[in-house]
Amino acid sequence: MSLDALRRRLDRIEARQGAGHITSLCNLAGHPAPIAAEAVRDWRAWVADGRASRNGDTLILRAPVLTAEQWSAAHEPRSGSLQ
């Protein structure tokens, strides 16, 4: 691969990342508004930590990945509830 081809490929990748401001938010994690606002302000840290990703000008907040035990504990029926 030539240096020019590598530069063009890098330019295409960087263009998809978006260098401008965040214009939309996809809050898949269901964070409250103050936390989502903090994520928009400090989006680079959130992306670096894997808590969010960026697609152009859209910031996507990810829900944490749960283990099977954590998911079971969060979704097991409570006693006295109707089923």
pTM: 0.60
Average pLDDT over residues 64-75: 86
77 lies in some domain: no
Q: Is residue 5 part of a domain?
A: no
- Which whole-number Å values give the CA distances from 70 to 67, 76, 79, 80, in the listed order? 5, 10, 18, 21
Domain assignment present for residue 24? The answer is yes
- Tell me the average pLDDT across 36-65: 91
Q: What is the pLDDT of residue 17?
A: 62
Range of the domain at 32: 15-51
Q: Kindly indicate the confidence band of residue 76, based on its pLDDT and cuts at 50, 70 and 90.
A: confident
Residue 71 lies in a domain: no
pLDDT of 66 > 60? The answer is yes
Number of domains composing the chain: 1
